Structure 1
Amino acid sequence: MNDQTPIKKSSPKDWETDQEVRWCPGCGDYAILKAVQRTMPEIGGTPENTVFVSGIGCSSRFPYYMETYGFHTIHGRAPAVATGVKLANPDLDVWIITGDGDGLSIGGNHTMHLLRRNLNCQVMLFNNEIYGLTKGQYSPTSREGTRSPSTPFGSVDHPAKPCAFALGSGARFIARGIDVHKKLPEVLKAAHAHQGAAFIEIFQNCIVYNADVFDPFVAKANAANTQLWVEHGKPLLFGSEKSGGVKGIALDPGTISLKVVDVEGDDWEAAGVLVHDQTNRMIAHLLVEMPFGDFPMALGVIYDDPAATFDSAVIDQNAKASAGKTPDLQKLVAQGQTWMVEKQPRIE
């Protein structure tokens, strides 16, 4: 093949394996899998240059169903394995698949350090607010009052907020999506375009152990008033005339907090509606902390402000350390305190 030979663009079928997809009928993971397989050709990906790394849980079966390289690792350790993969071969496109239980409980420490280091990869956290694979125990994101085999009287834990956790860990890209929503591929494309650790929380319906828990903002009947799809440079508007009126998100300067305001006609500026700036970390924190019910659910790319990546820093450091030096393994082994073990005579 010469430089003039066009590279054939892949199709979603090229990313499907011959493995039987084994999730519960109706599981949101099916929709996410299809969204990823549709997205890969659009970002110019190639199966031989892509790696999916997962931990433990229903979501972590993902590598079996992607026609790429893959690692199904152990509970919570996908970020550690992915870091090794990326440092060993920085040209690989690395995707981490995890869940609210895998990535925020035993894996919380690993997730935090991957984000603060800013490894150039994509982290997809499937949040169904429950442990699915281990039969329905409550998870770090389960709401207070959640009844499960491990909390028969209702959870008393205050739930973790994945995007707030990621921002607090130093992540430079934060986004949210919904398993069955048509905009999920656009969110994945934006994450892939970001240079650094891109964290995407995906609300995923567990049809067996936590069915329809997200319906208050996912159901189409409620979506206009309960979903705020943010877009850089666009006003933070939601609702419609058909759904009771257009509303917006404004900043209350007195309390430095957000508030919902009514918008008359098209004059959102007069209502003080904020224009989304995805590089504004403070506003990103406020958006992901909005209590649902009083506010809509913020979705889309909430924060995107690239910084130097961990892998590029390691590569540059190694290049500087080895500049002008000739590799000599024997010399390296022999430096410092060494000794020779002589062959001893055999004792009969």
Structure 2
Amino acid sequence: MGKSLKKRATIVDVAKECGVSQATVARVLSGQTGIRTKENTRKRVLEAAKKVGYQRNAIAANFRLQKSNSIAVSIADITNPFFPEVVKGIQEVLREAGYSIVQLYNDWDSEVEQEYFDYMVRTCVEGAIISPSSSTTVFDVLNSTPFVLLSNSDKFEMHDTVGNDTRSGMRLALERLYKLGHRRIALFVGGSMKSGANWRAELFREFHRERGLSVDPELILESDYGVSSKSSLAAARQIMNSFLDRQDLPTAIFSSNDILALATLQVANDKGIGVPDRLSVIGMDGIFSGEVSHPPLATVQKNRREIGRTAALALLDKMKSKEGEPARRQLLSCKLLERGSMGPAPMASEG
């Protein structure tokens, strides 16, 4: 038979051990200074607490004070390789500031997300860092809880946000492809947030208009995200299986994230389409999987850990600031990593 768990020592046990009232023990162990306690009594209480193995329940004490020393971090997809580095950055800053984090995952479900917002209020978290499940997420229930959003969308201009300047990052990739001689470029976007897909398509068209080029509507592809990176990859592969069978292939495909780009790369390899000799493939995010793909994936790298650190610092500032201060939007720059999946257009030289 297994060994039984030892019962947790309580204030009652400490009071019995040292022969004073429970109220006196509670005052000493909570560090109250408003009521004077004799020094020898205080020492007796502390010695008794040590002897019986008493440990103060900080969670319960903080709950009574409406204070938790914890920050909620709400992420849409635990399997998305983009987020671990972001959370590491958040944790580095908050741990140094004396806070623990509570991680919540909503699987792109807005109802679950709202339940978590209610949970944040009930458990008295002192702040929250949120990656919204959609561009229509409502934050009304958090009106008394400071929060910062992980987003680059202008849909959230009323709130403090931290993200990457993905518009500039996308332009970096398109301009480099253009310089490498590519004139027939496809755009592959993820559809978890329709607004995100829309602005990317518009920027893509704008880029071509500026250079006097037309855009073939069939070269703008959209894939729905699944509830996990695995299902997103499968959906993207299905689209690419059909698209890469066409006779008039583009010379390059820019994908709005590395998951889509890796799916494109896998299907191209399966079909014997030479990358980058026949087709250049570029993603966005800079996840580790792209470093070890074949060939290594060219990508627009986001500094994910710095996003997390910046969001945590922004939240700490917000927790100290007065109500009514204007919302801040911070966008970090991206960097183009030219790797083996990116090269000159067929029969073109760099100009």
TM-score, scaled relative to structure 1: 0.30
TM-score, scaled relative to structure 2: 0.29
Kindly indicate whether structure 1 or structure 2 has the higher relative contact order, using CA contacts under 8 Å at least 6 residues apart: 2
Which has a greater percent of helix?
Answer: 2
